Amino acid sequence: MNIKDEIGVIGIDDAPFDKNDKEAILIGTYCRGNRIIDGIYFKRIKRDGMDSTEKIIEMVMGKHKTKINVIFLDGVTFGGFNITNLYEVNEKTGIPVVAVIDRMPNRQKMMDALKKHFDDYEERISLLKSFPEPENIEGIYVQYVGIKRELLNLIIKKTRLKSKIPECLRISHLIGRGFLDLITERNEG
């Protein structure tokens, strides 16, 4: 299997937010391979809402849609417990979706928190349970839809630079960390 060095991928993460914020910001970085950044995207989502799926689909269906081969997500939750439906993103975009997690998640702890804080916890728990079990590929845990393990393994290798995770996801994370200063300024002001 041969994959070009400049394979198009997008990495999506959220910016840190304050506990009083009603919204969070999704950050998408479109890269070709592991070195060329060709687009940065932002979308607002409701903190603890259920709109991350539609906002990710909107982001992916933009300018670079025809060039994106894989959508990498930083986990399955954004803006607190705004859970992204991996299957729906894959179905509506036609692009494989891969949730990257740095360590095996404690699903029971997540489900307990959902029961404690959300009226619609049954729907959220059902969605979490529907996702594939995390698998270790190349030193990271992934949950993936719409792609075979062997191909994903090759794409992860092609899209990393100096980190275990694909560069597009690392860059989105770095951009998100830059928002911390704004949160700190707002809270001090």
CATH code, domain carrying 149: 3.30.2170.10
Residue whose structure tokens are 């179905």: 91
What pLDDT is recorded for position 42? 96
Q: Of the candidates 10, 3, 152, 12, which has an alpha carbon nearest to the alpha carbon of residue 67?
A: 10
Q: Of the candidates 71, 79, 32, which has an alpha carbon nearest to the alpha carbon of residue 176?
A: 79
Q: Of the candidates 88, 96, 84, 98, which has an alpha carbon nearest to the alpha carbon of residue 166?
A: 98
Residues in CB range of 121: below 8 A, 6 or more apart: 111, 114, 115
Can you tell me the mean pLDDT for 155-166?
Answer: 94
State the residue range of the domain holding 74: 8-181
Residue 14's H or E segment, with its range, is: strand 8-14
Q: How confident is the model at residue 103 (pLDDT cuts 50, 70, 90)?
A: confident
> 1 lies in a domain?
no
Alpha helices by DSSP H, listed for 10-104, are 52-60, 86-93
Would you say residue 34 has pLDDT above 80? yes
> 132 lies in a domain?
yes
> 62 lies in a domain?
yes
> 103 lies in a domain?
yes
Length of the chain: 189
> 186 lies in a domain?
no
- Is 19 in contact with 175 (CB distance < 8 Å)? no
- Is 8 in contact with 155 (CB distance < 8 Å)? no
What pLDDT is recorded for position 107? 83
Q: How confident is the model at residue 3 (pLDDT cuts 50, 70, 90)?
A: confident
The alpha carbon dihedral of 83, 86, 92, 97 has a sign of positive
Would you say residue 110 has pLDDT above 70? yes
- Total domains in the fold of the chain: 1
> 187 lies in a domain?
no
| Predicted confidence (pLDDT) per residue in 75-97, tens digit | 999 999 999 999 999 999 999 99
Can you tell me the mean pLDDT for 157-180?
Answer: 92
Q: Which residue has the higher pLDDT, 189 or 41?
A: 41
> 119 lies in a domain?
yes
Q: Tokens at residue 155, please?
A: 């794409």
Strands 8-14 and 70-74: parallel
Average pLDDT, the chain: 92
What pLDDT is recorded for position 52? 98
> 189 lies in a domain?
no
Q: Is the pTM of this model over 0.75?
A: yes
Q: How far apart are CA 172 and CA 40, in angstroms?
A: 8
What pLDDT is recorded for position 1? 67
| Predicted confidence (pLDDT) per residue in 139-154, tens digit | 899 999 999 999 999 9
Q: Which residue has the higher pLDDT, 5 or 51?
A: 51
